[in-house]
Structure formats: structure tokens, C-alpha cells
């Protein structure tokens, strides 16, 4: 990326638009070309041997890397402040490729008690088939981490803010505690995005993303990413991606992500403004028992959120009085907002974890993990706030029953 005053680091959007790509090397094409190929030819067998042994860099086969994907990876590493990144086919692909690269039977993982449903299933059920033990603790409580950590703990894993109930976890505090016990820290930064929060700068070792969400921003693909140290990312590419999951991202989806990321800052500013305005409006509605939005002074970790996030994101969780039935009435009443899972799109999306994403939890699990029956999640989109708040307020009126 060329820029006139090379001493000043380029700003976030400048990097989101230019990092890792020089049009001059591609016939002046402003957009990176989409390399639609599965394999790469070698000039000679000597060159092939050197690439396979890792002696010289270069492409071999598109399950391991592709030039369009490489531009995306360089851009992601720059935005998260990491040495390197690996882009993969889904957020679940990112979490599994990272852990399969490093964990062994007998290892332990400590995860926060609130996780995206499929991450919970992978941690709680999937890993246990292979002798890896996962302990779910409340990572907002440092004593709980201290009590659970053992010499066998390899990783501490959490989301912040958490999906779906918006708890905020102290990245600096958890990282210091984990490192004191030789465990490494993985933060799922899907909700935060690198525009609002950069966990590696606070001491985390790895960031994972579901790029399906804000990084894409348009709800038109499924993708994931892992960002961390260069040597670790080599292991993730050659073990987690190449051997263990094969979760390769398509070149065309890499292109769409590069396009989406160009407007990440602009979109996040709007998501954050609208979410804060909406959270304030609905806080006083009679059917709303609580609003969980880290930008509200009433949020239990408001001051922590102010320290580690530059703004508070586009996700709101609310607790409706009237439990499961109130949640269902609210969901059925929305008109502009879409009843759908996923998040981070231009369209406002609403979901009811107890009947949708977390319906595989037992009643006891829902209680332990703080997923109540009346919890509703709103992914605040980019529509005009007047239209959006009119829709949500009329749906809350109808939820009253």
C-alpha cells in the first residue's frame, strides 16, 4: 500500500481498502482478481520440491492458499493488529481448525459459560470424543478462572460481548491470568469486529471470527478467520486447514469479503449509533424487564466495555416479561425486521434463542448459561432508525399480551 507520509500509520479504513494489494502489479485493476483455480504449476521439479518443503513461498494447491485469499488474509491481519491470518470457509471452520491444530487428548480447555450454540456443541460434545476436556466457567469472575485452571489447560476461549446475552469479559485480566498458567487465549471477536475492539492488543493470543457477520456485512456468504502469530498461523494452515478440516474459503467469497470490509468502519458507525438509540428507547417499555447493551450505563460491565471497545456494536439482547410466550409474540409481530438467525447484515434480524439457536439446550443448561425463555436478540441493521424503532416498539406492544 503506497501513501504519501509513510511515517504515520495508515488509518483503519485506509487499510481496509488498500492493505495487501497493489493495482500496479495487476494491470491497474482496482479490485484484486479472483483466481478461480484449484492447482498451480511449477517451473521445475526443483521449484515444486522447495514449495512442498516450505523452503520457498508460493502456491501449491488451493486448499492451502489462493492469491485472492492472501490479499484478504493480509488485510485481516493488519486490521486486527496480528502478524498473520488464515481465512477459512466458516466461523465454525475457524474455531475447529485452530483447536485441531494444537490440542491433544488429555488437554483441557476453559471456555466461558455463554457461547454461540454450535461453538458450545463443539466444545461440550465434539472435543470430548477425542479426550479433550472442556470446562465452562463464568469468565466475568476472575476467581472462577483461577479455580478451574490446571497445568493441563492449553486454551481459554471466550466471546466478548457474548452471543446472545451481551456479557462483557475483561480481555486483559483473562489473558494475564491464563498466561501466568501457560495457557493461551482465544477471543471470538465476531460481535466486536476489529473496528471496535482488537483483542491481540489487550494480550489475547488468537482472534477468531465468523466473517459471515459484520466483516462480510451483506449476508451473502459463510466464512471465518483466525488471526495470530506468524508461526502459529503456519501451523493452522498446514494442519488445521489442510489436514484436519479442509475448510477452504472459495476465491469468490474471498473477493466478496474484500468488498465488504472496505465499508466496515462506515457500517459499524451506523450499527453502533442506531443500536444505542434503540436500546435507550426500548429500556423504558413496560414489557421489557432488562436491556443488555454494553453502551447503556445500566449494563453490569459498562465501564469495562468503555475501556476495551471504542463503541458498543450493533447487537442488543432484551429480556421480556412473560417469558417464552412473550418472546414468540414479539417475534411474530415484527414487520420490517426479519425473523432470522445470523447477524451483522444491512437488514435488522431478530431471533429468540430459546426457540431457535439454543433450543438444543436443556432447561438446566439454559439456566447455567443465562439463556432465559424471554430473551430476544436484535441485530440492528442499517435501515433508518425512525422506521426501525417504530417496528420494534409496535412489536413490543404486541408482546405484552
| Residue showing the smallest CB distance to ligand PLP in the complex | 91
* Residue whose CB is less far from ligand PLP, 181 or 366: 366
Least distance (Å) between residue 264 CB and ligand PLP: 16
Locate cell 469472575: which residue? 141
State the DSSP H helix or E strand holding residue 15, giving kind and residue range, or none if neither: helix 12-18
Whose CA is closest to 83, among 93, 91, 73? 73
User: Is 148 one of the binding residues for ligand PLP (CB under 6 A)?
Assistant: no
Q: Is 250 in the site for ligand PLP (CB under 6 A)?
A: no
Q: Whose CA is closest to 83, among 232, 198, 215, 193?
A: 232
Extract the C-alpha cell encoding 360. Answer: 438444543
- Which cell numbers hold the place of 186? 482465544
Contacts of 79 (CB under 8 A, 6+ apart): 12, 15, 16, 19, 194, 195, 261, 264
* C-beta of 119 vs 197, nearer to ligand PLP: 119
- Which helix or strand (DSSP H or E) is residue 210 part of? strand 206-210
The smaller minimum CB distance to ligand PLP, of residues 68 and 212, is found at 212
- Measure the CA–CA gap between 48 and 207, rounded to whole angstroms: 32
Tell which one of 90, 140, 245, 274 touches ligand PLP (CB under 6 A).
90
Interface segment toward ligand PLP; rule CB under 6 A; list 89-97, 130-138, 246-254, 363-371:
89-97
Binding of ligand PLP by 287 (CB under 6 A): no
Is there binding between residue 251 and ligand PLP (CB under 6 A)? Answer: no
Strands, E, within 12-149: which ranges?
Answer: 84-88, 108-112, 133-137
Whichever of 153 and 212 has its CB closer to ligand PLP, that residue is: 212
Contacts of 14 (CB under 8 A, 6+ apart): 1, 3
Site for ligand PLP in 34-73 (CB under 6 A): none
* 193 near ligand PLP, judged by CB under 6 A: no
Task: Output the CA–CA distances (angstroms, integers) from residue 160 to 308, 313, 380, in the order listed.
Answer: 10, 11, 17
In the Cβ-directed half-sphere of 342, how many Cα atoms lie within 13 Å?
25
Shortest distance (Å) from residue 308 CB to ligand PLP? 17
What distance in Å separates the CA atoms of residue 293 and residue 303, rounded to the nearest whole number? 12
Minimum CB–partner distance for residue 245 and ligand PLP (Å): 12
| Residue from the set 107, 108, 138, 159 that interacts with ligand PLP by CB under 6 A | 159
| Nearest distance, CB of residue 244 and ligand PLP, angstroms | 16
166/178 with CB nearer ligand PLP:
166
Cβ nearer to ligand PLP, comparing 190 with 193: 190
β-pairing verdict for 224-228 and 84-88 = antiparallel
Q: How far is CA 309 from CA 169, 269, 303, 314, in A?
A: 11, 13, 10, 12
| Residues designated as active site | 63, 116, 188, 213
Interface of this chain with ligand PLP, residues 97 to 136, rule: CB under 6 A: 116, 118-119
Provide the minimum distance between the beta carbon of 348 and ligand PLP in the complex, in angstroms, as a whole number.
16
Q: Is 163 in the site for ligand PLP (CB under 6 A)?
A: yes
Our measurement of the distance from residue 274's CA atom to the centroid of its chain's CA atoms, rounded to an integer in Å, reads 20
19 binds ligand PLP (CB under 6 A): no
**Count of residues interacting with ligand PLP (CB under 6 A):** 14
Question: In the complex with ligand PLP, which residue's Cβ is closer, 209 or 299?
Answer: 209
The span from the CA of 330 to the CA of 314, in Å, is: 19
Least gap, CB of 190 to ligand PLP (angstroms): 4
Taking the complex as a whole, how short is the minimal distance between the CB of residue 120 and ligand PLP, in angstroms?
10
**H helix or E strand, kind and range, residue 378:** strand 375-379
> Interface mask (CB under 6 A) for ligand PLP, residues 198-237, using x and -?
------------x-x---------x-x-------------
Integer Cα distance of 389 and 34 in angstroms:
40
Nearer to ligand PLP, 163 or 372 (CB): 163
Selected range binding ligand PLP among 87-95, 133-141, 296-304, 315-323, rule: CB under 6 A: 87-95
| Binding positions for ligand PLP, rule: CB under 6 A | 90-92, 116, 118-119, 159, 163, 188, 190, 210, 212, 222, 224
Amino acid at each position: 500500500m503506497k501513501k504519501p507520509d509513510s511515517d504515520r500509520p495508515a488509518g483503519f479504513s485506509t487499510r481496509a481498502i488498500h492493505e495487501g494489494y497493489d493495482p500496479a502489479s495487476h494491470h491497474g485493476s482496482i479490485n484484486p482478481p479472483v483466481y478461480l483455480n484449484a492447482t498451480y504449476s511449477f517451473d521445475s521439479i526443483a521449484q515444486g520440491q522447495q514449495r512442498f518443503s516450505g523452503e520457498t513461498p508460493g502456491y501449491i494447491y488451493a486448499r492451502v492458499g489462493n492469491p485472492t485469499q492472501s490479499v484478504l488474509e493480509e488485510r485481516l491481519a493488519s486490521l486486527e493488529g496480528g502478524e498473520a491470518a488464515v481465512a477459512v470457509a466458516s466461523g465454525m471452520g475457524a474455531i475447529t481448525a485452530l483447536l485441531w491444530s494444537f490440542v491433544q487428548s488429555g488437554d483441557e480447555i476453559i471456555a466461558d459459560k455463554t457461547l454461540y450454540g454450535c461453538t458450545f456443541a463443539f466444545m461440550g460434545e465434539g472435543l470430548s470424543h477425542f479426550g479433550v476436556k472442556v470446562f465452562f466457567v463464568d469468565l466475568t469472575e476472575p476467581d472462577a478462572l483461577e479455580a478451574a485452571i490446571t497445568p493441563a489447560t492449553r486454551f481459554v476461549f471466550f466471546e466478548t460481548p457474548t452471543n446472545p446475552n451481551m456479557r462483557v469479559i475483561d480481555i486483559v485480566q483473562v489473558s494475564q491470568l491464563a498466561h501466568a498458567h501457560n495457557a493461551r487465549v482465544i477471543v471470538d471477536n465476531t460481535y466486536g469486529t476489529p473496528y471496535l475492539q482488537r483483542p491481540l492488543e489487550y494480550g489475547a493470543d488468537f482472534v477468531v471470527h465468523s466473517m459471515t457477520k459484520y466483516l462480510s456485512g451483506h449476508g451473502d456468504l459463510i466464512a471465518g478467520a483466525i488471526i495470530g502469530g506468524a508461526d502459529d498461523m503456519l501451523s493452522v494452515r498446514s494442519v488445521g486447514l489442510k489436514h484436519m478440516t479442509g475448510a477452504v474459503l472459495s476465491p469468490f467469497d474471498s473477493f466478496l469479503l474484500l468488498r465488504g470490509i472496505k465499508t466496515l468502519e462506515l457500517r459499524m458507525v451506523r450499527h453502533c449509533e442506531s443500536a444505542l438509540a434503540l436500546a435507550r428507547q426500548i429500556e423504558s417499555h413496560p414489557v421489557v424487564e432488562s436491556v443488555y447493551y454494553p453502551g447503556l450505563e445500566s449494563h453490569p460491565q459498562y465501564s469495562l466495555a468503555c475501556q476495551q471497545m471504542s463503541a458498543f456494536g450493533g447487537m442488543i439482547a432484551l429480556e421480556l416479561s412473560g417469558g417464552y410466550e412473550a418472546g414468540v409474540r414479539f417475534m411474530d409481530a415484527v414487520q420490517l425486521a426479519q425473523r432470522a438467525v445470523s447477524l451483522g447484515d444491512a437488514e435488522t434480524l431478530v431471533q429468540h434463542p430459546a426457540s431457535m439457536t439454543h433450543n438444543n439446550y436443556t432447561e438446566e443448561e439454559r439456566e447455567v448459561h443465562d439463556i432465559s425463555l424471554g430473551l430476544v436478540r436484535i441485530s440492528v441493521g442499517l435501515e433508518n432508525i425512525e422506521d426501525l424503532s417504530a417496528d420494534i416498539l409496535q412489536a413490543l406492544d404486541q408482546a405484552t399480551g
